[in-house]
Amino acid sequence: MAAKVKIAMTWAAACGGCDVALLDLEAKLLELTRIADLVYWPVALDFKRRNLAALPDGGLDIGLYNGAVRTSEQEEDALLLRRKARLLVACGSCACFGGVPGLANLSDREGIFAVAYGSTPSTENPEGVAPEPRCSVNGNERTLPEFHDTVKSLAQVVPVDAFLPGCPPPGERLEDLAGIVARFAATGEAPPRGAVLASDKALCDECPRNGSRKGGRVSEFKRPHQLLADPEVCFLEQGLICMGIATRGGCGLSCIRANMPCRGCFGPTAQALDPAAEALSALGSIAGDANENDVPAHVMKRAVQSIRDLAGTCYRFTLPVALLNRAVRDVPAEKSP
Ligand code: SF4
Ligand code: SF4
C-alpha cells in the first residue's frame, strides 16, 4: 500500500469557521483518512507547534493555512508551514485575501487597542493597560506575540501554491481539495502554482436571477433588512447591493438561494485590477433617478451616500490585497514632501 499523504492544518487570525467546515465533511473526512494522515491540526486535536517543527523540511505533503496574518506568531506559523509543506494551500477567505480581519487595516494597532482596551461599553480599564510584547512579572520576563499594524493575506507573507476561497469554503470546494489530496497521494501531481479552486467567472454568470436585470436606476441603496426582496429578481434591480457582479463564482450560490445578496467572500476574478473597483463601477452605473436619463452629480452623490460603510461593503473580505491595502495616516504638513 502507498504511503499516506501527510496533511497539516493550522489557523491564524480566524474565527474557526474554516475548521468547522472541514469537520462538516463528516464521513468524507473519515474517507480522507484512508489516504491521508492528519499530522497537525491544533483546533481539532491536541497537537503542539513542536510536533510540526519536528518534521523535516519538505516532510509534510500538504499544509492548509486558514486565517489572516495579524501577529508575529501567525507569521512564524506561516513561515514554518511553508518550510515543511510541499504544497501550501490558503484555506478560506481570510488566508486568501485577509478576509473580515483584514478590515482592521482601516485602522491601526493604536486605534484598535484604544477601542478594544479603552472605549467598548464593557471595558473597565482606568489605567489604560494594553498588551505589551514584553513585560516583567516578579523579575521574570514574559512575552506575547507582536500585534502588527497591518493585516496580511498568506501570500503576502509566503509563496502559496493554491487558494481555496470562501467564508468558509463550501463543502463542494472542500471536496475539490480532497480530490487534490487524492491525486497527490496517487501520482504526486499538484495543481498549477497559484491555482484558485473556484470558477474564474463572476457569480452573475451562474446566478438564476441574471436574466431579470432590466438596467433600472437606483436612487437609494437599501440594506437587506429594509425590504422583503423578490426571490426571482436580481438584487441590484431592487436597490440591494449584491457583490456577485465582481465576485468569483463557484460558491454554490447559497446566499442567493437564501434570498440574501452576495457579500463577496470568493474574492475578485483574476481580471479585476482591484477587488472593489469593479463593484464600485457597476454600482456607479446604476446609481441615479429612475425617471431621468441624465444623472446629475448630486443625484449620483446621494445614491452613493446611501451605501452605509462603503469600504466595509466593497472590501469586506479583500482589503489587504487591494491596491490601497490600508488606511493611510495623515502625514504632518512639515513632514510631507
Ligand atoms: S474565512 Fe470566514 S469562516 Fe474562515 S476563518 Fe475567516 S471568517 Fe472564519
Ligand atoms: S448581481 Fe447578484 S442577484 Fe444579480 S445576477 Fe449577479 S449574483 Fe445574481
**What structural domains and CATH numbers belong to the chain?**
5-100+150-196 (3.40.50.700), 203-321 (no CATH)
CA of 278 to the centre of ligand 2 (A): 14
Instruction: Report how far ligand 1's centroid is from the alpha carbon of 92 (Å).
Output: 6
pLDDT given for residue 334 in this prediction: 60
For residue 153, how far is its CA from the centre of ligand 2 (angstroms)? Answer: 27
Ligand 1 probe mutation, 9, 93, 177, 318, most atoms within 8 A of CB: 93
Instruction: Please check whether residue 39 is in contact with residue 8, taking contact to mean a CB–CB distance below 8 angstroms.
Output: yes
* Distance set, CA 18 to CA 4, 23, 158, 196, 242 (Å): 23, 9, 20, 17, 23
Q: Is the pLDDT of residue 158 over 60?
A: yes
Residue 150 three-state SS? strand
* CB 14 near ligand 1, within 6 Å: yes
Tell me the longest C-alpha to C-alpha distance in the chain.
74
Residue 157 near residue 78 (C-beta atoms within 8 A): yes
| pLDDT tens, residue by residue, 32-87 | 889 999 999 999 999 999 999 999 999 999 999 999 999 999 999 999 999 999 99
- Nearest ligand, CA 9: 1
Residue with cell string 452605473: 285
Positions of E strands within 206-327: none
pTM of the model: 0.92
Rounded CA separation 100/68 (Å): 9
Mutating to test ligand 1, I would choose from 18, 74, 100 the residue with most ligand atoms within 8 A of its C-beta, which is: 18
Residue 335 has pLDDT above 60, yes or no: no
Length of the chain, in residues:
337
CA of 242 to the centre of ligand 2 (A): 6
For residue 284, the CA-to-ligand 2 centroid distance in Å is 16
Q: Which pLDDT does position 333 carry in this prediction?
A: 60
Residue located nearest, by CA, to atom 3 of ligand 2: 234
